[in-house]
Structure 1
Amino acid sequence: MKCRGLGWIAWLALAQPGHAEDLLQLNLGASIRHDGKDGGELQQLAWRRSWQPEWLPSKRLSLQLDLSLSHWQLDGHSNWVPAITPVLRYTLADDWACQPYAEYGLGASLLSDLQVTEKRRFSTYFQFVNRLALGCRLDGRHELALEAMHYSNAYIDTPNPGIEFVTLRYGYVF
């Protein structure tokens, strides 16, 4: 059942009519501290397919699909986190030199290690990822964004400590 859902997402990303483009993205960020010893960093490389299906109610809306690989370094612990995240983007203005946008995504990820820090252990390898970003597309090929990410298993099991990151994202349209 889960594989069928991912198949539909892939089909939507690759087979829909309308304008489509690909982006390569790099995210660099830091975790939001919940205690004095929980600081850390995130590096993420992602491929994004962006398209505007004809059935969307506005030309300012676009659908996107991120396939990413993140590396977390937290309190001496390392974690590799692949993820797939469908994203909805709203472009606020498309006739400016900087085209501002807001986007939200909800996806799925897998942790390589349940022990994220000395004091923080997740109960499941599977984690949902929520992403919220504000950004700007420059000259049609470059993007800069400030993004907040939250990883959690939505209480599929406990403990569910969750973790948040704030990142700066650069993207290149190819």
Structure 2
Amino acid sequence: MFAKTLMAAVAALMMSQAAMAQDKLIDSVSVDYGSGPKQRMVRLSAANDWEKQWFQSNGTHLSGYWEGSVGYWRQNQYRNVPGLEKGLWDVGFTPVFRFQNDNKKGIYYEAGIGVHLLSSLYKNDSRELSTAFQFGDHIGIGYVMQNNWEVALKLQHFSNASIKRPNGGANFLELKAAYHF
């Protein structure tokens, strides 16, 4: 059921974003699959490139993009009870800095810090986030192929920056696949 829902959502996102790509409101769409201690996550994103080139040197530069996302997290040890599952939704907005080649192909490195709103409080595997508002930061390495497909590996951390305790944090190792229009 989860896989069918994911496939339908990816197809709908890609078709709708492809239609908007002509206006350059959306430059790319992506899907991330993440895993962490006793948790899984899938995220659909749309991005808009900043079209900037800072610190240009030797065919490389610093640039970035805006990313809007919707994700679903499955907690597999909710309230620290083995086998007790609970899902929650995550809506996020993240500015991301990317160090890349001038032609935007090949290897890149990126980092971003954004804001996220969770549909319910996170309480999984003895970790708890006491607010629905979270900061999500990530670092990643990826590769953009000549056919505009991209693959990446990211480490992501969610925390409320100790606005309210407890603030145990949630961490994911993510695999990203994206297409650039």
**TM-score of the two chains, using structure 2 as the length reference:** 0.74
Unpaired segments of 5 or more residues in structure 2? Answer: 1-23, 77-84
- Residues 73-130 of structure 1 deviation map (CA, whole Å, 9 limit, x = unaligned): 0111101000000000001x4579x610000000000111114326433211110000
Which residue number in structure 1 is paired with residue 40 of structure 2?
Answer: 41
In 2, Cα distance between the equivalents of 1:46 and 1:22? 11
Spell out the pairing of 1:1-20 with structure 2 (5 A cutoff): none
In structure 2, relative to structure 1, the CA distance for the partners of 1:79 and 1:21 (3 Å cut) is closer
Spell out the pairing of 1:139-158 with structure 2 (5 A cutoff): 139-158=146-165
- AA aligned opposite 2:93: I
What percent identity do the matched residue pairs reach? 30
Unpaired segments of 5 or more residues in structure 1? Answer: 1-18, 34-38
- AA aligned opposite 1:73: R
Spell out the pairing of 1:23-172 with structure 2 (5 A cutoff): 23-31=28-36, 33=37, 39-53=38-52, 56-58=54-56, 60-75=61-76, 76-91=85-100, 93=101, 99-117=106-124, 119-172=126-179
Measured on the aligned residues, the alpha-carbon RMSD in Å equals 2.2
* Count of residues paired in the alignment: 147
**TM-score of the two chains, using structure 1 as the length reference:** 0.77
Task: Check the 8 A contact 2:26/2:46 in 1, yes or no.
Answer: no
Task: Check the 8 A contact 2:127/2:170 in 1, yes or no.
Answer: no
SS state of the match for residue 52, structure 1? coil
In 1, Cα distance between the equivalents of 2:135 and 2:70? 14
Which residue number in structure 2 is paired with residue 11 of structure 1?
Answer: none
| CA displacement at 1:140 relative to structure 2 | 4.8
